[in-house]
Amino acid sequence: MKILVTGGAGYIGSILVPALLSERHHVTVLDNLMYGGNSLIPYFIKKNFTFIKGDIRDYNFTQDLMNRNEITIHLAAIVGYPACKKNEALAIAVNEMASIEMARFSIAAHIPIIFGSTGSNYGSIPNSDKISTSATCTEETPLNPISLYGVTKTNAEKAFLDTGNSVCFRFATAFGASPRMRLDLLINDFVYKAVRNKHLIVYEKGFKRTFIHITDIVRAFLFTIDRFKYMVGKPYNVGDNSMNYTKEEIALKIKEKVDYYLHFAEIGTDEDKRDYEVSYERIRELGFKAETTIDEGIDELIKISQILEIKNPYSNI
């Protein structure tokens, strides 16, 4: 199958692309290389791999590429609340407006799309609801994004679902190693600070998140390509019911494996106030189940943290 992957040089794409190539798909990556493209270097020798440097905001160019492929996997985005807050106009243009244009074109050209959305769309459940079962989010739970990132992804998701020929994934918070590593993700961040800094301060320790290893995210895409006609037109929470944890529980799990100073702060807040539990029954009923556990992912991250270097040029340490 001929597959277009937008944002294919990113954290997820750098693991997804080789997986698609190994399945003998013909893969075209469209990426503006905002964070570089070294993660894709090993695949340029592959005859079924094509790289195009470009921006999804170039609507005509993006639509032409979509038209040349059988399915589009849309990952390109300004990801996470800090990046979106830093450049709000860019976040709206990329995450929302460009995605809406892709959705409109997919209707006219009948192009299937798998959209990488986010569990951030659920935001934070109102306090009045937390004593009820509505504290567990299903795909039918009203969306309540609390950050610009969540708002832009929610609006894009709606546009794709309105096409009738898209599948939208509301991913749990990703963790795990990638050639285009991200240390802004909660578990990745916690492990790195525990290993390298030997201390960690956690705000709002009782806030609950749900998690998924990056290899399981990739498995979800492969799973859906094979079953697209059975899944089309719906959003799917992608994660596992066994991986709903509070921030405190994650920090203590890491402490079982790493000797570091851990402090739970009673004063102060985390700007990213997501606090929810998620049900993954819809995709599980189709046969998908996450395979990598939190403990396995933490072990992996402990190992990789030993070789990651973040240097401050203004420090004498």
Whole-number pLDDT of residue 313: 67
Asked which of 45-59, 253-267, 268-282 is least confident by mean pLDDT, the reply is 268-282
Domain count, the chain: 1
Angle in degrees, CA 106, 4, 217, rounded to 5: 100
Asked whether the beta carbons of 299 and 257 are under 8 A apart, the reply is yes
pLDDT tens column, 29-72: 999 999 999 999 999 999 999 999 999 999 999 999 999 999 99
Integer Cα distance of 258 and 263 in angstroms? 14
Q: Please report whether residue 57 resides in a domain.
A: yes
Q: Please report whether residue 25 resides in a domain.
A: yes
Whole-number pLDDT of residue 182: 94
Q: Please report whether residue 190 resides in a domain.
A: no
Euclidean distance between the first and final Cα of the chain, in Å? 51
Q: Which domain holds residue 6?
A: 2-179+210-240
130 Cβ contact list (under 8 Å, min separation 6): none
Instruction: Give 287 or 144, the one with higher predicted confidence.
Output: 287
Asked whether the beta carbons of 12 and 218 are under 8 A apart, the reply is yes
Whole-number pLDDT of residue 128: 39
Q: What is the mean pLDDT of residues 236-252?
A: 94
Q: Please report whether residue 286 resides in a domain.
A: no
Q: What is the mean pLDDT of residues 263-290?
A: 83
Instruction: Give 123 or 160, the one with higher predicted confidence.
Output: 160
pLDDT band at residue 310, thresholds of 50, 70 and 90?
confident
pLDDT band at residue 306, thresholds of 50, 70 and 90?
confident
Q: What is the pLDDT of the chain when averaged over all its residues? A: 91
Q: Please report whether residue 16 resides in a domain.
A: yes
Closest CA to 195 of 313, 301, 317, 296: 301
Matching residue, tokens 């959003």: 235
Integer Cα distance of 101 and 216 in angstroms? 29
Instruction: Give 109 or 29, the one with higher predicted confidence.
Output: 29
Q: Please report whether residue 223 resides in a domain.
A: yes
pLDDT band at residue 130, thresholds of 50, 70 and 90?
very low
In terms of Cβ atoms closer than 10 Å to its own Cβ (0-12, 13-18, 19+), residue 76 is: buried
Q: Please report whether residue 305 resides in a domain.
A: no
| CATH code of the domain covering residue 25 | 3.40.50.720
97 Cβ contact list (under 8 Å, min separation 6): 57
Phi first, then psi: what are they for 96, rounded to 5°?
Answer: -105, -60
Asked whether the beta carbons of 115 and 163 are under 8 A apart, the reply is no
Angle in degrees, CA 12, 144, 130, rounded to 5: 105
Asked whether the beta carbons of 169 and 285 are under 8 A apart, the reply is no
Angle in degrees, CA 271, 97, 158, rounded to 5: 75
pLDDT tens column, 168-180: 999 999 999 999 9
pLDDT band at residue 268, thresholds of 50, 70 and 90?
low
| Alpha helix stretches (DSSP H) within the chain | 13-22, 59-68, 81-86, 88-91, 99-109, 148-163, 186-192, 214-231, 247-255, 281-284, 294-305
Using only the alpha carbons of the chain, give its radius of gyration.
19
pLDDT band at residue 274, thresholds of 50, 70 and 90?
low
Q: Please report whether residue 47 resides in a domain.
A: yes
Neighbours of 272 (CB within 10 A): 23
Half-sphere exposure of 117 (CA within 13 A, CB side): 34
Integer Cα distance of 91 and 29 in angstroms? 21
Whole-number pLDDT of residue 133: 39
Instruction: Give 132 or 56, the one with higher predicted confidence.
Output: 56
Integer Cα distance of 251 and 198 in angstroms? 12
